[in-house]
Amino acid sequence: MNSRNKFYFLVFKIEWVEILHKMGISTGKFERRSGLLFSRCFFHSEKTPSFVFFQKTGTFKCFGCGEQGNKLRFVKLFFHWDSPKTIRWFHKCFGTPLPWKSAKEKRRVSKK
């Protein structure tokens, strides 16, 4: 498995609640129903929860505004970060490998 695939595989395996807690989001008021986690949307204002975290697929979807995606996209949108910053955050918080080649690997390649 290359580092990119390994990264996506490991991020996929992290539970939504673990990610949310690391982001400083309290999940105590979230409703849990058959592997789904319901919340109010993070990207538009609403009174009733139409935002769902899917444990099985590792994705999210808001049935109100239509925003959806995977864990990386959620973190990225939430903090208004770019992809490298989001990837480094996962690396720091969960020890997932960086999907790009390390400086060491690059040096090895350039020597050939």
Q: Name the site residues for Zn ion (rule: CB under 5 A).
A: 41, 43-44, 62, 64-65
Residue 90 near residue 11, CB atoms below 8 Å:
yes
Output 49 or 97, the one with its CB closest to Zn ion.
Answer: 49
Give min distance, CB of 12 to Zn ion, in A.
Answer: 23
Report the nearest approach of Zn ion to the CB of residue 27 (Å). 17
Complex with Zn ion: residue 65 or 93, whichever CB lies closer: 65
d(CA 77, CA 42): 9
27 vs 112: CA distance, rounded Å: 50
Smallest distance, Zn ion to C-beta of residue 78, A: 12
Q: Using CB atoms within 10 Å of the CB of residue 98, give its burial: 0 to 12 exposed, 13 to 18 middle, 19+ buried.
A: middle
